């Protein structure tokens, strides 16, 4: 990586999508500053996965910020009293964390301003996804406009770019792209309710989308499941 490479803040959750986005940003020549969040999620295994992903894919620096979205509740990912659904649901599912991507991007924007970076990468996807409103192209476009009126850079005539390279790709396309870039998906965790040792349940919507993505891509699924997929 060139010392003069353009800086970018890359959101890294430890999941399949964000690992792919980090690999894409690296491949495009950015000096990547990875940002992860311990936001009150039910399991720490995704934080551990994010650390593995950054170590394997590469970044100039990796920071994990602690914030407490669990204080507000309202999501099965932050409230243990709410069950993670294992059957398809209508509308926006209970696994949606209110305003999560808005908060994450706002903090990424703050770090980008401090670094002198004009580029932020996020792994949202609006094709094979759970229907979250903050994963759509409209959200990314709106946040970009916000970023450019709410910052010193924007007020002085500069422009931030919010990159969402996966937003219109299916899960199999994302996996194929990551495989081309050498992403080790065994290091990632996508499950909404993984075991303490990081094994995926194989039943939640995120597991189903991931498993179907590998099948459609014609690639072996490296995910460790609590029980074999054939038994799920």
What is the structure's pLDDT at 5? Answer: 86
Instruction: Tell me the CA distances in angstroms from 22 to 70, 111, 195, one per residue in order.
Output: 26, 17, 25
Instruction: Tell me the CA distances in angstroms from 33 to 7, 12, 111, 119, one per residue in order.
Output: 7, 10, 9, 10
Residues 6+ apart with CB under 8 A from 55: none
What is the structure's pLDDT at 218? Answer: 97
What is the structure's pLDDT at 231? Answer: 41
**R_g (Cα) of the chain, nearest Å:** 17
What is the structure's pLDDT at 2? Answer: 57
Cα 58 to Cα 36: distance, rounded to the nearest angstrom: 14
SS3 137: helix
What is the structure's pLDDT at 87? Answer: 84
CA 232 to chain centre: 26
What is the structure's pLDDT at 44? Answer: 85
What is the structure's pLDDT at 232? Answer: 44
The whole model's pTM is what? 0.94
pLDDT tens per residue, the chain (232 residues)? 555 689 999 999 999 999 999 999 999 999 999 999 999 998 889 999 999 999 999 999 999 999 999 999 999 999 999 999 988 788 899 999 999 999 999 999 999 999 999 999 999 999 877 789 999 999 999 999 999 999 999 999 999 999 999 999 999 999 999 999 999 999 999 999 999 888 999 999 999 999 999 999 999 999 999 876 544 4
Q: Which residues pair with 38 in a beta bridge?
A: 66
What is the structure's pLDDT at 3? Answer: 53
β-pairing, 119-121 vs 7-11, is parallel
Instruction: Tell me the CA distances in angstroms from 84 to 15, 41, 73, 170, 228, one per residue in order.
Output: 17, 12, 14, 23, 20
SS3 62: strand
Residues 6+ apart with CB under 8 A from 106: none
**Cβ-contact 60, 31 below 8 angstroms:** yes
CA-closest candidate to residue 36, choices 60, 9, 8: 9
Q: Dump the DSSP string for 168-191.
A: T--HHHHHHHHHHTT--GGG----
């Amino acid at each position: 990586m060139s010392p003069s490479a353009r800086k970018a803040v890359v959101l890294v959750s430890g999941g399949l999508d964000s690992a792919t986005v980090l690999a894409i940003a690296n491949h495009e020549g950015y000096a990547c500053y990875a940002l992860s969040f311990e936001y009150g999620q039910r399991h720490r295994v995704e934080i551990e996965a994010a650390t593995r992903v950054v170590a394997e894919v590469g970044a100039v620096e990796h920071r994990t910020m602690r914030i407490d979205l669990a204080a507000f509740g309202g999501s099965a990912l932050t409230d243990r009293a709410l069950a993670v659904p294992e059957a398809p649901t209508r509308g926006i599912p209970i696994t949606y964390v209110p305003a999560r991507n808005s908060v994450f991007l706002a903090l990424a924007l703050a770090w980008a301003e401090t670094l002198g970076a004009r580029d932020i990468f996020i792994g949202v996807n609006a094709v094979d996804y759970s229907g979250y409103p903050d994963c759509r192209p409209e959200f990314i476009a709106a946040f970009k406009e916000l970023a450019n009126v709410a910052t010193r850079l924007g007020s002085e005539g500069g422009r931030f770019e919010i990159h969402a390279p996966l937003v219109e790709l299916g899960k199999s396309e994302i996996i194929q792209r990551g495989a081309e870039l050498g992403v080790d998906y065994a290091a990632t965790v996508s499950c909404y309710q993984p075991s303490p040792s990081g094994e995926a349940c194989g039943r939640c919507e995120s597991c189903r989308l991931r498993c179907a993505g590998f099948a459609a891509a014609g690639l072996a699924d490296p995910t460790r499941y609590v029980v074999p997929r054939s038994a799920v």
